[in-house]
Structure 1
């Protein structure tokens, strides 16, 4: 009898070539790699470009922030720090001087507190300031040339001029030749302050307005009148000067009748006297 060949050896080990075969281990592949293998190359390249573009855009935004926003932010922080340091320094300096003067009565006597001026001194200063305003106002009202160049300063329908006229009259009501009681003097000083501010504001407004409120024909009449007054002032011929003053007075009367220019009484009186030959050439 033939002996059957056994697949196992004497010690029970498996003989090569017999028994079930073991499967070999295959390499593991990730899901992203499998997806990448299935995608077309164009899609992969486009995705890479988009990723690179996003990175580049983020870098540009960061660079723009560093160039534009960051310097301003640092400057603002520096200014705030300097301001805080100055406040602390002033506070410390004030605290130091306060304790220093409090500890030394002699130093307090050597550095007396600043007091308000004496009422009479303030009243006299207000009188001087009011006299300057009155002189400037009179110089304007007595010169027809000034009235023609700045007609708004003689027109009380202009708001700034009306405020000045009221403030000027109010200050005149409190004016006195001698030092009045303290309450009256204080009211005069306050009235002069208002009149002085109103005069400056009225002059500024008249400079801005000039002839802008007139029509073309009215502006032409004003310019002709100014030329006639200039000729009359500069002429050495009496007949020519009188004729120029007469024509200028007629033109000015037409303008006033039309409501284009308001001629103050002093200016009208001077122009009438000049037309009659009662004023010198200069």
Structure 2
């Protein structure tokens, strides 16, 4: 495992990319309402990224080994879709929950973040799942500091989510990020305290727990990308990109419209 420690100039560039990614979510928020299609949300985000921000949508044509190229500019995961949902003709309806996952490239550096949206008026159950997932992400972020372990992050997230009655997806995790979309280390959202690598200032990675209302098992759809819960239960995800600083952490994917840190 080769973890790239970012220098001052690289950190500055990552701050810009992270803020821009979050600003895409600020922009699209008013459009996430009953009657809109996920394809329309993708089109709006694509145009904003390319024409307004002059950024590159990182997911578009992204093709890791064993995959076909991803065909859209954002990921839209609705209800029981866990992650990597492909935008299409599906119309959002009142009560749906949807994760919008945004990654932009600016001056060669990646900014990666996602938020949950409750469409119209959501049920208490769906709203609680989104909130607990948001809090789980922040519980994980709060563990980040020099000399802490990666396992501390996963342990904190898993404990919080499972104590609330939910399950944590195991197959997908956070990741290092910089000039590459996915770098080392992998950041698991479950685990044991005091395990894994020690954190060092200059590390940048995402924390992006996927929390299911039912069981943790998942499956992949025939499109080769979309992941859903095996039991068709609801799933939620939030994501921030985080820098390890000399004294703790800095969240790089924040903007004016970004939901603030919850009271934990």
TM-score where L is the length of structure 1: 0.24
Which structure carries more relative contact order (alpha carbon 8 Å, separation 6+)?
A: 2
Structure ranking higher in strand proportion: 2
Q: Between Structure 1 and Structure 2, whose CA radius of gyration is higher?
A: 1
